[in-house]
Structure 1
Amino acid sequence: MKSITTLHLMIGLPCSGKTTIAKQLEHTYSALRLTPDEWHTRLFGHDVNEQEHVVRHNTIESLLWDVATRVLELGVDVILDFGFWVRSQRDEKRMKAAELGVNCIIHFVYAPEKVLLSRLQIRNATLPKGVAYIPESKLKDWYLLFEQPHTEELEYTKTYIL
């Protein structure tokens, strides 16, 4: 008998190792992994400094959620590799998972700012396929916006320190 379907939420900043863990989980759970940067860079290139970037990115995440919803209804696990930087985003997806009758597990991938910035330099120098270019100043801004999982979230959170 198949276990209950699960929505996996990848939490963390760029360069924390989210996608690395998400790719491992994809094989472990035979899950569909949805990583917005892979779609975004293919459709729009490296547009992080363009005015339309945020609207484009939000549109991609919305479309990927629509796909995720249908796949979850079909009984297949889904990994949303979105980052979910603020608690309200995580709470919203957990509630939607409950409405769909599926489990929700948070995978929090942490790295200190110094490590993130070091990895960002390497990432930007090589820019593998499907990986978005990010200016250092943006990552520093995002670091200040990021809300680590709160105590109440920890009961359904797996934490990775890479």
Structure 2
Amino acid sequence: MIRKPTLYLMCGLPGSGKTTLAKRLEQDAPALRLTPDEWMIPLYGEGIGEPDTIVRWNDAHDRVERIQWQIAERALQLGMNVVLDFGVWSREEREDFRTRAAGVGARSELILLDEPLDVLKTRVKARNSATGEAAYPISEAELERWHAVFQPPSRDELEPRE
């Protein structure tokens, strides 16, 4: 029996360990890993992460995610596993990606990385100060706002879907 390709959806806030685990899955599954933050500076330049460019950052990030989904969809159609390192903070967004995956004959798995807010703050602060890190610098206030709107998945969402 041929196994269907799998869409792995990384779910969690910044600093939860999504990209670290996504890199491991990329090797172990094996899978095509798509991480939007890694494309932002190469496509839009160093200044895209500055505080006065947040509107541009959000617009650019949305564009990158749309393009990455097109790539993911084609890879799934070709029988490849895919890791989407998008965060998927709402049930609606998670269901949308899972429905799209099913539409091309792929299974899906939602992988939750859930860390306490104090751990996220520590990790994001370290990431913000790391040289060569290609990620948007996140303030503590932003992280607190995002933590408040994050919708943790229900138990049923964590079940793989064939």
Output the CA distance in 2 between the equivalents of 1:127 and 1:140. 24
Q: Distance in 2 between matches of 1:5 and 1:48?
A: 38
Partner of 2:86, secondary structure, is strand
Question: Do structure 1's residue 64 and structure 2's residue 68 form an aligned pair?
Answer: yes
Shift of 1:131: 2.8
Corresponding residue number in structure 1 for 2:49: 47
User: Normalising by the residue count of structure 2, what TM-score does the alignment of the two structures yield?
Assistant: 0.90
How many residues are aligned here? 157
Stretches of structure 2 lacking an aligned partner (at least 5 in a row): none
2:83 aligns with 79
Letter in 2 for 1:118: T
Deviation at 1:137, TM superposition (A): 1.6
Specify the alignment match of 1:9 in structure 2. 9
Mapping of 1:73-152 within 5 angstroms? 73-152=77-156
* Aligned partner letter, 1:65: W
Query: Residue 133 of structure 1: SS of its match in structure 2?
Result: coil
Q: For 2:7, what is the secondary structure of its paired residue?
A: strand
Contact 1:15 1:120 in 2 (8 A): yes
Instruction: Note the C-alpha offset of 1:135.
Output: 1.8
1:129 is displaced (CA, Å) by 3.6
* Distance across 2 between alignment mates of 1:143 and 1:15: 11
Tell me the CA shift for residue 4 of structure 1: 1.2
Q: Normalising to structure 1: TM-score of the pair?
A: 0.90
Contact residue 9 and residue 85 of structure 2 kept, 8 A = yes
Change (3 A) 1:128 1:148: farther
Q: Which residue number in structure 1 is paired with residue 21 of structure 2?
A: 21
Distance 1:120 1:127 in 2: 13
The answer to whether the Cα contact below 8 Å between 2:111 and 2:158 also exists between their aligned partners in 1 is: no
In structure 1, distance between residues paired with 2:131 and 2:142: 16
Q: Is the 8 A contact 1:127 1:133 kept in 2?
A: no
**Aligned AA (1:56):** A
